[in-house]
Structure 1
Amino acid sequence: MSIVIRTYRNEDILQMNRVWNEVVEEGVAFPQTEILDKTGGEIFFASQTYCGVAEDTESGEIVGLYILHPNNVGRCGHISNASYAVSSSSRGKGIGEMLVKDCLVQAKNHGFKVLQFNAVVKTNTAARHLYEKLGFVQLGTIPQGFLMKNGSYEDICPYYHMI
């Protein structure tokens, strides 16, 4: 597997939807509950400040992606937010780290000063370990801030990184 992180293209949408929807359907990391169809994916990804994809250059398969956008508006518009998705068959291979590092570069390129994650699920230990390894700072814990797919509630941990 040879991975390159690049800007998404329209022809990537169906594969991006597949990766995104897999995480949504797992119901343990993303707040979204609606899956993306072709049109929904086109609109959703085009509405972001930037979308990066992890492409396996040997197969042409999109194995991961991220979205980057403002976390707020106006006087807080310099703070960005991002979400990351890696296909279940490609996890544990360093792709998430590649996506986060690229996202930090793109956030700076787009004029953001801070990257903030509002709702990292406490039980998402792989993501939390990665963010802390890359210098993100946990802001605290919000008790029962995330509704898991099974109907239980889990704590969320906001993080930030100065860019």
Structure 2
Amino acid sequence: MEQNQNPQRIVRPYEERDLAAMREIWNEVVRDGAAFPQIDELADDDEAKKFFDSQTVTVVVESEGRLLGLYILHPNNVGRCGHIANSSYAVASAARGMHLGEALVRDSLVRARDLGFRVLQFNAVVASNASALHLYEKIGFKQLGIIPGGFLNKEGEYEDIIPHIYDLTTL
């Protein structure tokens, strides 16, 4: 796949030189405790490299040489359900509102399709994550229902999660 770029940003597969910035962005979202299920941060660049290399693909978005966000893409399950992908997105707090999340999600749809996946599924979109919910609706994801209390936020409160899917065969 060619790099997706405009004058402000480049979306591309990650390179080892990106690891420190990727780990910082990923850990910021983990610390926020409002979107990712992970509790533990990536401890160092070696752990980050193992984690990001274990994905089917890890992609970053940069602008003017500065890394601003990333996503990971991998199978959601195995075997007879291995055609369903899953993805997670992280944008640095200082770069939010620049539509980088949209660029990352749209890129992940194309990459997932090109890798042979038929569906992209999000298992746990937290109901209070209004910007993500709005973005996924705008792009054409379908909500699958609500799982009451499916996410434990960092304040110790349970929030609903809303699984979503996108049929990649329609791209």
Q: Same fold by TM (over 0.5)?
A: yes
**CA shift at 1:63, angstroms?**
0.3
CA distance in 2, matches of 1:148, 1:35: 15
CA distance in 1, matches of 2:77, 2:124: 15
**Among 126, 134, 139, which residue is 1:129 paired with?**
134
**CA shift at 1:147, angstroms?**
0.3
Match of 1:112, SS? coil
**Among 23, 45, 59, which residue is 2:29 paired with?**
23
**CA shift at 1:103, angstroms?**
0.2
Aligned: 1:2 with 2:8: yes
Letter in 1 for 2:39: T
Letter in 2 for 1:77: G
CA distance in 2, matches of 1:13, 1:120: 25
Moved runs in structure 1, 4+ residues, more than 6 A? Answer: none
The one-character-per-residue Cα deviations of 1:112-161 (angstroms, maximum 9, x if unpaired) are 00000000000000001000100000000000000000000100000000
Using structure 1 for the length normalisation, give the TM-score.
0.97
Using structure 2 for the length normalisation, give the TM-score.
0.93
Aligned: 1:107 with 2:118: no
Partner of 1:38: 45
CA distance in 2, matches of 1:18, 1:44: 14
CA distance in 1, matches of 2:148, 2:70: 28
Aligned: 1:159 with 2:168: no
Match of 1:5, SS? strand
**Between the two proteins, what is the percent identity of the paired residues?**
57
The one-character-per-residue Cα deviations of 1:15-43 (angstroms, maximum 9, x if unpaired) are 10010000000000000011112111000
**CA shift at 1:61, angstroms?**
1.2
- How large is the Cα RMSD of the aligned pairs? 0.8
CA distance in 1, matches of 2:54, 2:66: 23
